[in-house]
Amino acid sequence: MTAANQPAELLELLKRQNPVQLILAIPHSESRDAINVAATQIRAALAKFAGKPRTVILYSDTLNGSPGEESPPSVDDVDLQTVPFPLAPVTASRFEALWPVLQLSQALSVQACCLWTRSPESLTAVRADSLLRPVLEQQFDLVVPRYNRRRFESLINSAVVYPLTRALYGQRIRFPMAHDLALSANLTRRLAEPNHKTGQPLRRDWITTYAACQGLRIAEAALDLYLPPADSSDLSKVLAGVLDPLMSDVEQNALHWQRTRDSQATPVFGNSSVPAEEPLSTDVIKMIETFQLGFRNLLDVWKLVLPPATLLELKKLAALPADKFQMQDDLWARTVYDFTLAYRLRLMSSDHLLRSMTPLYLAWVAAYALEVQGVNARDVELRLERLCVSFESQKPYFLSRWRWPDRFNP
């Protein structure tokens, strides 16, 4: 079975066997031994499920050699198979990694499919149960991991992505960008539908917000895992890379989020330990100096985006000494909303716009770092919850500016 014709042959092979209820894709490029470890854990988890759903684990076909080399499927037992499959690497976008899995899942009419982009050995039986049971036995359409978070990790998510999506879409999904997902047959069918005109896949990189807009049932799985650290060598590039698709998604879903009121708690399955305490590891002074330099050098850009009242508050902030530096949550929320509107209005190139947010983001991080140093993990959670509440309270401001952008004409 070669890589070129493998999906078609695999589909025919599986159709001749007993119906498949679950497809689990593990695109991580590790050894076959690592896949076998994961398969053992999956088998232990599924043994506790009603009916013990027949499962196919897809792993990268490059594990057994270069693409195109003969690599027959491995049959472990009647209820679980591990087979090579041309999966996109973990560096690819979530949708690129998920698309072939969606197609196969739809063709086989499976009950659920799952994408696990982390190391195969990290998918323990307990984690598999937390991720899969809500879909297989409790009729949820999407399950997203709820990772542990340390106070100075995943701050772009904590400062922008989570509070913004929570305020707009009304779902408290802690990590809406998570790549590890479990999906129901209902959601799989919707995502696998191609564009009726071109026949090409309809890209939906933000599957969480798509599910929220469709009114589907969403849950989180507490897996007692941390997100892998992101490359922060070029913060402006990282920030723009996250915010560009996020703001594009906000623009595409405007009809939905304008009707959403308040946010709802998302059911959480599984358990996580209390995040380990870690020492202060951020250079607050340098971040404040970067913000002050940005205020001097980027003011002409910010004037195109931010109202005069916000610019006045930022001017006062730039004049504060480090020991009194504090950025109010409402100010940060309005700033994020204003940049989202500027993205929609195409006031400048998206890359230039979003990179210019870096000093403002660092101002928030510096103020946050000064506030949470020395407090416990519970107080950090309460601090980030207050930020989310501010985003929700400032949503009417964003709605007004979105609907009548000409009211502010710099």
Q: What is the CATH number of the domain that holds 199?
A: 3.90.550
Query: Are residues 335 and 221 part of one domain?
Result: no
User: Which token pair is 345?
Assistant: 């209005």
Q: What are the start-end ranges of the H helices in 258-328?
A: 284-297, 299-305, 308-318
From 270, 295, 330, the end of a domain falls on 270
Query: Are residues 245 and 305 part of one domain?
Result: no
Q: Which helix (H) or strand (E) holds 279?
A: none
Query: Are residues 185 and 104 part of one domain?
Result: yes
* pTM for the predicted model, two decimal places: 0.89
> What confidence score (pLDDT) does residue 317 get?
97
pLDDT along the chain (410 residues), means of 10: 54 81 86 88 91 89 49 55 83 76 90 92 94 95 92 92 97 93 94 76 83 96 85 87 95 95 93 64 89 97 96 97 94 98 95 97 96 88 96 96 78
Q: Which domain holds residue 290?
A: 284-407
Does residue 115 form part of some domain? Answer: yes
Query: Are residues 305 and 258 part of one domain?
Result: no
Query: Are residues 248 and 291 part of one domain?
Result: no
- Structural contact between residues 129 and 138, judged by C-beta atoms closer than 8 angstroms: no
Query: Are residues 151 and 249 part of one domain?
Result: yes
Q: What are the start-end ranges of the H helices in 16-63?
A: 32-46
- Structural contact between residues 221 and 124, judged by C-beta atoms closer than 8 angstroms: no
Does residue 184 form part of some domain? Answer: yes
Look at strands 142-148 and 268-270 and give their pairing: unpaired
Query: Are residues 250 and 356 part of one domain?
Result: no
Q: Which helix (H) or strand (E) holds 402?
A: helix 395-403
Query: Are residues 139 and 10 part of one domain?
Result: yes
Measured CA to CA, the distance from residue 72 to residue 192 in angstroms comes to: 26
DSSP 109-147: T-SEEEE--S-GGG--HHHHHHHHHHHHHH--SEEEEEE
Measured in residues, the chain has a length of 410
Structural domain count of the chain: 2
Residue type, 343: Y
Query: Are residues 326 and 251 part of one domain?
Result: no
40: Cβ–Cβ under 8 A, 6 or more apart, which residues?
none
